[in-house]
Copies of this chain bind each other. A is one copy, B any other.
Amino acid sequence: MPPPVGDPQHGLPPVARAILDAAQKIIVDRGFNALTLTAIAAESGENKAMVSYYFGNKAGLVAAMLEAIIHDECLAIAAQVEGTTGEERLHRLLQGICAMTLTPGFYRGFFDILPHAMRDPALRERLIALYEWYIAVELGWLGVPDDAEPERHRRLRGLAQLIAAAIDGLGVQARIDREQFDVAQAYEVLELLLRNSWREFAPGSR
Contacts and interface: CB of A to CB of B under 8 A. Distances in A.
Interface in A130-186: 131, 154-155, 157-159, 161-162, 164-170, 172-173, 175-177, 180-182, 185-186
A122 interface: no
Interface in A110-124: 111-112, 114-116, 118-119, 124
Given A32-B115, A189-B158, A169 B164 contact: yes
A175 B111 contact: no
Contact of A190 (B31, B162, B175, B189): B162
Contacts of A111: 114-115, 118
Given A30-B119, A116-B31, A161-B170, A200 B196 contact: yes
A32 B175 CA distance: 20
Contacts of A185: 154-155, 157-158, 161
Nearest to A175: B118
Interface residues of A, number: 48
A128 interface: yes
Given A111-B114, A196-B197, A197-B197, A165 B161 contact: no
Given A185-B155, A197-B197, A173 B169 contact: no
B177 A131 contact: yes
A188 interface: yes
Greatest chain B CB density within 10 A among A32, A111, A192 is at: A192
A162 to B, nearest CB: 5
A194 interface: yes
